[in-house]
Chains A and B, each alone.
Chain A
Amino acid sequence: MTKRYWRMLLSAAAIVAVAVAAVACGDDDDNGGTGGGGSAAPSGTMTIGATQFETWDPHFSDFAQDITHFVYVWRGLYHLDVNDKPQPAMADGAPQVSSDGKTYTIKLKKDLKWSDGQPLTAEDFVLGIQRTCNPDVAGHYQYILTNIVGCDDYYNAAQKSAAEKEELRKKVGVRAVDAQTLEVKLQEAQPTFPIILALWPTFPAPKHKLASVDAPWPGPLENVYNGPFMPAAYTEKASMELKPNPNWTGTKVGVEKVVLKYVDDAAVLNNAYRTGEVDATVANKPELDKLKTEFAKELQLYPATRTIGLEFNVTKSPVDKPEVRLALSQATDRATLVKVVFKDANTPTTSWVPPARNGLKGGEYDAILGFNPTKAKENLAKAGYPDGKGFPQLTLLLVDSQTNKLLGEFLQAEWKKHLGIDLKLEFVDSKTRSSRFNSSDFQLVTGGWQEDYPDPENWFLGLWETGGSINKTKTSIKALDDIIAKAKFNTNDEQRRQQYREAEKLLLQEANGIAPLWHTLAAFLVKPHISGMVENKRPGDTFVPGDWYIELWKTSKK
């Protein structure tokens, strides 16, 4: 045994010696791209710090990191430009809309092909929409297609027999008039429908790859693509390599290869950015102060379409009283909060809808919700708790994180100082917090909304109407319900936008459900040799700037 043991040890030592030798004489693995810097042919390699997608199925997923991937490799009928206006992608021009606004007829471009050379037809778009409405696919984003005739009926038929489901599938209001013409029937004229036709739930599904609407969605290397790039190699949780799609007919792609490195930790990614292992990445926000001096020219900060605030369960005491909600909002110094807790990585606000979406300047609600200790005290007294006397137990539910600890302690101190009340903090893990929120089992949380699609309606529908499908704050205001119902199918765009501005006012004037605190800033690091990312960012980009325009990315690195 001993001899054998020592032999084992010796061979182990030998392996270590080999490793050490390899370290000593290994060659540089510089992954410099080939080819010249000519503008015509794609050239160079770009490595991007990324977040691993959850699922590869655009008709199923709603995770931001998944959507980032989908737009690299697939495209819909329309595509959102940098101003978030839908522009034709697979479609040949704008849709033809019937006079009642309920029927959309869309011509496809000629000779479209999937990456494997098979023709891309209107049938593929039909299948895509049917998959999103399919109860057995259980797509997270079906709710944005509820206005398509029959989509809800099909989606709600989970318990029915296969034959019944098949009948309901056929009744979904989408059909191929011919190979190049798609027709979609809506229940109501919907002003935002052209935007929906640019989103992943309406992306085409390759009919030649899927035997039926229930067939499993092929993985990255087995699937076919109609976007500018397609996967060339993929290792889950490690990396994906994208190469240009030979059958892409849109703007010519600029780089030969895009490598996505999947890393969970932003601090790790920033170190990889420092060593040049990645050319672009999200910036680690807690390090923002340092990054501002270290990468003054490479750090990109811009407002994301995300609002976070104090969310109240308006059915629970004491935050069922409007005066208490207003007092809490007015006792919160947002500017100091953002500076102290977030090191200015967010923008203080009192608005719900970000300025990019509602056409306002911001600050409209400062007088009602903004920091004002005197008013806060008055409101608390009006609610029956002068100087905080007799104030019932109030608990703030937070996800356990370093930043949230700072945030919780900040609010605790502020409210003690200005209102004389004791805030209790409850820290839980993310799923527990979501579960408690989703079942309205809370008094107070910090939370808000990340926009799904670029329109003010996305900040209201389902969220704030009485009994709305995701209204967890139990907000219920008759006037707000009415105006949202009016705006939803109002085809007069200017009027519609005005109605949503009215809705915001109705929501915020008594801090019903929410008192907004900040809009999130997105922070990225991008090497100077890269162009086309930052220039083509949309306000909604949170993971990668310019992810909707991968074809315009370029690198001058040889």
Chain B
Amino acid sequence: MVAYTIRRILAMIPLIIAIATITFLLMHAVQGGPFDTDKPLPPATLENLKRRYGLDDPLPIQYVNYLTNLAKFDFGISIANNRDITDIIRERMRVSVQLGIATFLFATVFGLTLGILSSLNQNGPGDYAGVFIATIGAAMPSIVLAPLLTIVFAVKLGWFNVLSSDYGFTDWFRGDFSNWRQVVLPTVALGFLPMAFIARITRASMLEVLRQDYVRTARSKGLSEFVVVVRHAARNAMIPVLTVLGPIFAGLITGSLVIETLFAIPGLGREFVRSVLIRDYGLIMGVTVFYAVIIAFMNLVVDLLYGLADPRIRY
């Protein structure tokens, strides 16, 4: 397995070079550059700006420069605000990861619970309720859900904040819960869809497992229902769920444009989309490459977890 892991990590290098190359080409193929401001800039200013950011070199040279710096883990400087891109990604990612982890926990805990309860009560009222919630979650995108939650729970009821610019839970470990009003709504708004998804998969998987012979055997030998469900059924029903958890986790920690914008959370999702809109070339490259690494790495982790979950899978 160690050899397999090393092989996979080495395979990431050409992957990342390919992604960097494609992004670089696409980015420069798109019309409009970082200095195409609403108000046109005088030609002398444009020239000085291009020179300041190394954009006056021919594209192939810019490309080679970029890859050389990338090999040194140097992402360069953001054109928009002159800051080190590594710093920007680190700061933004800190927030997005917290939003992602909290949302992942929310989605997993509630999704599994909902799925298992539905499956145990198949075609009963509990099942319909669970399926109903899951369907709403799947049907209502966060761009609708987030303003709805804000209006009901923040504006009308006043329970939570509209702005969540201090989103995070690292202070909680120090006993400072002062930002709790900022944490609940974004987590729920972002987590509803993955929760619904997890619930649906869990329910389907549980229903299949509960009909298996060994579950009947377990019941017939007089085991308590709790033990049957938790130890025998749920354990095996988790394998398909585990398959989707990895990508869901990767998707959540890499930030969400919608939720970060609608709750004013300073995360990486918002920054990434903005970097494309304003053609901040360095930042586009930096975040894309960074995302590529994260997603490649998460896929590796999931593949390794399969081996742990299902002893029949060997590397």
Q: A-side interface residues toward B, CB under 8 Å? A: 1-2, 5-6, 9, 12-13, 15-16, 18-19, 22-23, 26, 29, 54-55, 57, 62, 135-140, 142-143, 152, 155-156, 158-159, 216, 235-239, 261-265, 267-268, 271-272, 274-275, 277-278, 428-438, 449-450, 462, 469-470, 472
Contacts and interface: CB of A to CB of B under 8 A. Distances in A.
Contact of A275 (B31, B105, B155): B155
Contacts of B178: 26, 29
B212 interface: no
A263 B238 contact: no
21 contacts: A2-B231, A6-B230, A23-B184, A26-B181, A29-B179, A29-B181, A54-B81, A62-B37, A140-B45, A140-B49, A142-B42, A143-B42, A261-B165, A265-B261, A272-B264, A430-B38, A431-B31, A431-B34, A432-B30, A436-B31, A470-B40
A16 B105 contact: yes
Contact of B51 (A138, A235, A237, A274): A138
Given A19-B184, A159-B51, A435-B36, 13 more contacts: A19-B169, A54-B80, A135-B48, A235-B165, A263-B163, A265-B264, A268-B150, A272-B161, A275-B161, A277-B163, A278-B163, A431-B277, A433-B32
Given A19-B183, A140-B41, A275 B162 contact: yes
A168 to B, nearest CB: 13
Contact of B39 (A26, A429, A435, A470): A470
Contacts, number: 176
A248 B180 CA distance: 37
Given A261-B165, A264-B270, A431-B278, A55 B82 contact: yes
B162 A262 contact: no
B10 interface: no
B32 A238 contact: no
A404 to B, nearest CB: 14
Given A22-B177, A268-B262, A237 B163 contact: no
A237 B263 contact: no
Interface string B15-37: 00000000000000011111011
B91 A236 contact: yes
A408 to B, nearest CB: 18
A18 B172 contact: yes
Nearest to A272: B162
Interface in B125-178: 147, 150-151, 154-155, 158, 161-163, 165-166, 169, 172, 177-178
A5 B239 CA distance: 11
A429 to B, nearest CB: 7
B112 interface: yes
Contacts of B150: 268, 271
B216 interface: no
B102 to A, nearest CB: 8
Nearest to B262: A268
B165 A139 contact: no
A16 B81 contact: no
Contact of A16 (B80, B109, B279): B109
Contacts of A13: 109
Given A275-B154, A275-B161, A268 B264 contact: yes
B47 A158 contact: yes
Nearest to B305: A1
B205 to A, nearest CB: 14
Nearest to A436: B31
B39 A156 contact: no
B108 A435 contact: no
B277 A268 contact: no
B92 interface: yes
A237 B39 CA distance: 24
Contacts of B108: 9, 12
Contacts of A264: 261, 264, 270
Contacts of A19: 102, 169, 180, 183-184
Nearest to B183: A19
Q: When A and B form their complex, which 5 residue pairs have the shortest distance between CB atoms, in order from nearest? A: A431-B32, A237-B266, A138-B48, A435-B32, A434-B36
